[in-house]
Amino acid sequence: MATIAEPAQARSHEHLVLDFLAYLEFERGLSRNTLEAYRTDLLQYGRFLEERHVKSADARPSDVSDFLTGLAAGNAQSKPASPATVHRKAACLRSFYRHLRREGIRDSDPAASLSPPRRGRKLPHVLTRGEVEKLLNDPKGTEPAALRDRALLELMYACGLRASEAINLDVADVDLDDRVLRARGKGSKERIVPIGGSAVTAVRIYLERGRPALVKSISEPTLFLNFRGGALTRQGLYKIVRRHAEGAGLGDKMSPHTLRHTFATHLLAGGCDLRSVQEMLGHADVATTQLYTHLSSQRLKDVYFKAHPRATLN
């Protein structure tokens, strides 16, 4: 006897979320981290709707708005969410409901008229040239871990790599003769980035003297390895960066992304054009890269007012 398919509108919120995440993964190619963030946001939203006895397929604009307003205001159980967090969750809900409309599950979009709080423009922390020099010189000695750390830090600063891109590099992705590497960015998008001479030297030394002592299997393709011979993890990368930042006297607030911010800012301050920096960073939208023009001009102003003998005269 044939079974009757469940109407799409009657599916549970969890079922609709799983369908949406599958669409994002296989049709849009979004990263695992992004998918996990979407899943967390949508399940939180589902719990909110459940308390109201409302199905996500039946939600009204007021339900979506009240959810976001509640996040921004906070309650006895949780602190107010930052404008950036509320903005991210609003974007997630817009994408979710656009998907439900495409699938014919809804004929209207309750998130279409959202007006989330504007995000403040928080400028990322960047290092000075002197601070970069201290950081890159902190890994000392000829032990395999020291050679790995020096090569890793040099390459991240030379190429503006994200943490995930650095730990996912294979040996075959780096061409030291042509001085380029292939980075796999968000959504599995690949880009080619030049490698500077200092990074080429550091990586070459690591490949010759450091990696052979760390690798346990000749079939292991990953460039940067841990002590067990496997791929370096994100947590391992963070520990390496933090350890050498503290060793260089840069404090404990620095992250791998600080090197990416510094890469972009130093290139623009040195005269590199915005479009080229966008391509090297792998930004889909040049507006994202434009943040660094503000950073660069602010740094130039700081240098000017400190160095010019008549800059501070009344």
Q: How confident is the prediction along the chain (314 residues), in pLDDT tens digits per residue? A: 333 344 445 578 899 999 999 988 887 888 888 899 999 999 999 999 999 998 888 899 999 988 988 888 877 677 888 888 888 888 899 999 999 998 888 888 888 877 655 555 566 788 989 999 999 999 999 999 999 999 999 999 999 999 999 999 999 999 999 999 999 887 678 899 999 999 999 999 999 999 999 999 888 999 999 999 999 999 999 999 999 999 999 977 788 989 999 998 888 888 888 888 888 998 877 777 877 776 666 655 665 666 656 655 54
Q: Let me know if residue 262 belongs to a domain.
A: yes
Q: Are residues 83 and 134 in the same domain?
A: no
d(CA 254, CA 278): 23
- 289 shares a domain with 147: yes
Q: Which of 21, 13, 24, 16 is nearest to 48 (CA)?
A: 13
- The domain boundary residue, chosen from 102, 117, 148: 102
- Whole domain around residue 59: which residue ranges? 9-102
My answer on whether 162 and 64 are in the same domain is: no
C-alpha torsion angle, residues 132, 133, 136, 138 (rounded to 10): -110
As a whole number of angstroms, the distance between CA 43 and CA 25 comes to 17
129-137 contacts: CB < 8 A, separation 24 or more?
A: 129/266, 131/248, 131/250, 132/157, 132/262, 132/266, 134/248, 134/249, 134/250, 135/244, 135/245, 135/248, 135/250, 136/198, 137/248
CA angle 42, 121, 134 (to 5 degrees): 105
Residues 85 and 170 in one domain: no
Do residue 65 and residue 144 come from a single domain? no
Count the Cβ atoms, other than its own, within 10 Å of residue 112. Answer: 12
**CATH, residue 50:** 1.10.150
In terms of domains, do 137 and 66 share one?
no
**Same domain? 98 vs 225:** no
- 65 within a domain of the structure (yes/no): yes
**The residue to which tokens 């079939």 are assigned:** 219
Residue 14 in any domain: the answer is yes
Chain length of the chain: 314
Give me 174's structure tokens. Answer: 């780096």
Identify the pLDDT of residue 121. Answer: 54
Asked if the structure places residue 279 within a domain, the reply is yes
Catalytic residue positions, numbered = 162, 186, 257, 260, 283, 292
Same domain, 148 and 297: yes
User: Pick from 170, 309, 139: which is nearest to 232 by CA?
Assistant: 170
Cβ atoms of residues 72 and 24 within 8 Å: no
72 assigned to some structural domain: yes
The answer to whether the predicted template modeling score (pTM) of the entire model surpasses 0.85 is no
Query: Residue type for 155, please?
Result: L
Same domain, 38 and 182: no
CA dist list (Å): 24 to 30, 32, 33, 94, 233: 6, 10, 12, 13, 25
pLDDT for the residue numbered 118: 53
- Is residue 107 included in any domain, yes or no? no
Q: Is residue 151 domain-shared with residue 239, that is, in the same domain?
A: yes
Q: Domain for residue 242, yes or no?
A: yes
CATH of the domain at 189: 1.10.443.10
Give the whole-angstrom CA distance, residue 113 versus residue 97: 12
Q: Which ranges in the chain belong to alpha helices (H)? A: 13-26, 32-51, 61-73, 83-102, 129-137, 144-159, 163-167, 197-205, 211-214, 234-247, 256-269, 274-281, 286-307
Residue at token pair 């700081």: 302
**Cβ contacts of residue 213 below 8 Å, gap of 6+?**
144
Report yes or no on 213 lying in a domain: yes
- 156 and 95 inside one domain: no
Domain count, the chain: 2
Which amino acid is located at 218 in the chain? I
64 and 160 both lie in a single domain: no
- What's the token pair of residue 137? 């010189």
- pLDDT computed for residue 3 by the predictor: 37
Q: Is the dihedral of CA 91, 93, 95, 97 positive or negative?
A: negative
29 three-state secondary structure: coil
Give yes or no for a contact between 61 and 113, defined as CB atoms under 8 angstroms apart: yes
Q: CA torsion, points 161, 164, 169, 173, in degrees to nearest 10?
A: -60
